[in-house]
Amino acid sequence: MAAQARMRNSRVLIINLGSVGTEITKNLVLSGIGSLTILDNHNLCKDDIGNQFFSNREQVGVNRAVAAKLRIQDMNPRVKLDVFQDEFTAKPDTFFKQFDLIVATELSASHITIINAITRKYEISLYVTGLHGLFGYIFVDLIEFDAQDEKLKSAVSTMLGPISANREIIEVTERVDEEQNKVKELITTRNKFKPFETLLAEASLEGKLTRRQIKRLSSALPLLLAMFHFDMDFTDLTESSLAEKAIKVCKQLKVSPETLKPEYMKQFVEQASIEFAPVAAVIGGAVAQDCINILGKRQSPLNNFVFFDGVTLDMQVLEL
């Protein structure tokens, strides 16, 4: 199968092997990708034992990627596995050139911007994901991606042209499925993506959701975006500083600041950058599923921001 062959030849880099990094690694290794490289400069601390299933208690103090290597390899001996103990910023840009796809986790906004500049330079697909307690996001930058989806032809032919802010149908071909005696349409959709920096500066929901959908939007979205405006260690994160930044985000998104629920703000302040295993499972599953898709089959990818609210199980894909 062509898709399987593409998967087996693909080279993926995962930056940081915390809870969500571990979930993505597990899913990609099971799926049979060709080679996986893990870059992690953190040592396993006792907090990781609640999040990591590739290492054990006796390995506390050992580098996370090194500690996990044996168990990852054991899961699928065919995957070519490499681990590096450096921080990604310590690697020269050319190091990244070898990869088809990079998944970055546990990064601050400034680091996301750095890795995104590298992936843009070498035309590498990028997925960035991060968790704050019960909440999580996925940012996707595939630069430009032509997806092919097949569907049954309805009474009206699919028209060429833009279908949303970031997507445009560029080709429709018909195919008669003789086995099922039905006409199918093969639709090619051009997905455009924007760099993380642009998204952060310009993200807006205007014209993308109905008024009702905007009214019922989870606080998780503006708060996840507001968290990018703090530094890596969230040194000055308080309920009031978060509220201030979140209100700005709401204005930019064109949603009412009333969307922001106090209990959500409290949660974000208390659980900034905490990776909680079941949330990592959901986000890690979604990231890996999309990676497998774009590496193999090329059906429509996530475009371009996903938020997850672990309280209400709300999860949406928004073209920000």
Contact between residue 98 and residue 11 where contact means Cβ atoms under 8 Å apart: yes
185 binds another protein (CB under 8 A): no
Q: What is the CA radius of gyration of the chain?
A: 20
Q: Which two tokens stand for residue 201?
A: 């500066």
Taking CB under 8 A as the binding criterion, the range among 35-43, 98-106, 183-191, 265-273 that sits at the site for another protein is 265-273
Q: Does 62 bind another protein (CB under 8 A)?
A: no
CB 251, min distance to another protein, A:
22
Which of 21, 130, 222, 284 binds another protein (CB under 8 A)? It is 284
Please choose, out of 85-93, 102-110, 140-148, 287-295, the segment that lies near another protein by the rule CB under 8 A: 287-295
Q: Report the site for another protein in 91-120 (rule: CB under 8 A).
A: none
Binding mask 132-171 toward another protein (x if CB under 8 A, else -) reads: -xx-------------------------------------
> If binding means CB under 8 A, how many residues of this protein chain bind another protein?
64
Q: Is 50 in the site for another protein (CB under 8 A)?
A: yes
Q: Is 209 exposed, middle or buried (0-12, 13-18, 19+ CB in 10 A)?
A: middle
Q: 50 phi and psi, to 5 degrees? A: -80, -5
**CA 314 – CA 221 distance, rounded (Å):** 10
Cα torsion at 147, 148, 152, 156 (round to 10°)? 60
H or E, element range at 177? strand 167-177
d(CA 141, CA 305): 9
The residue range among 92-100, 107-115, 232-240, 310-318 that interacts with another protein, by the rule CB under 8 A, is 310-318
Q: Per CB under 8 A, does 34 bind another protein?
A: no
Residue 46 makes contact with another protein by CB under 8 A: yes
32 binds another protein (CB under 8 A): yes
- Give the span between the Cα atoms of 240 and 244, in whole angstroms: 6
Enumerate helices (H) and strands (E) in the chain, giving the number of each. Answer: 11, 12
Specify the stretch interacting with another protein by CB under 8 A; choose among 28-36, 98-106, 107-115, 140-148.
28-36
The two most distant CA atoms of the chain are separated, in Å, by 64
- Residue 149, beta-bridge partner list: 187
CA pair distance 248, 68, nearest whole angstrom: 41
Query: Which residue number, 114 or 315, has a Cβ lying nearer to another protein?
Result: 315
Listed ranges 48-56, 80-88, 95-103, 139-147: which one lies at the site for another protein (CB under 8 A): 48-56
Q: State the minimum distance, in angstroms, from the CB of residue 210 to another protein.
A: 10
User: What letters, b where the CB count within 10 A reaches 16 and e where it falls short, cover 67-84?
Assistant: bbbeebbeebeebebebb
Stretch that binds another protein, among 122-130, 224-232, 237-245, 264-272 (CB under 8 A): 264-272
* Adjacent-strand bridge partners of 138: 129, 306
Instruction: Give the binding site for another protein (CB under 8 A).
Output: 1, 4-5, 8, 19, 23, 26-27, 30-32, 46-47, 49-53, 56-58, 60, 73-75, 77-78, 133-134, 179, 208-209, 263, 266-267, 270-271, 274-282, 284-286, 288-289, 292, 306, 308, 310-319
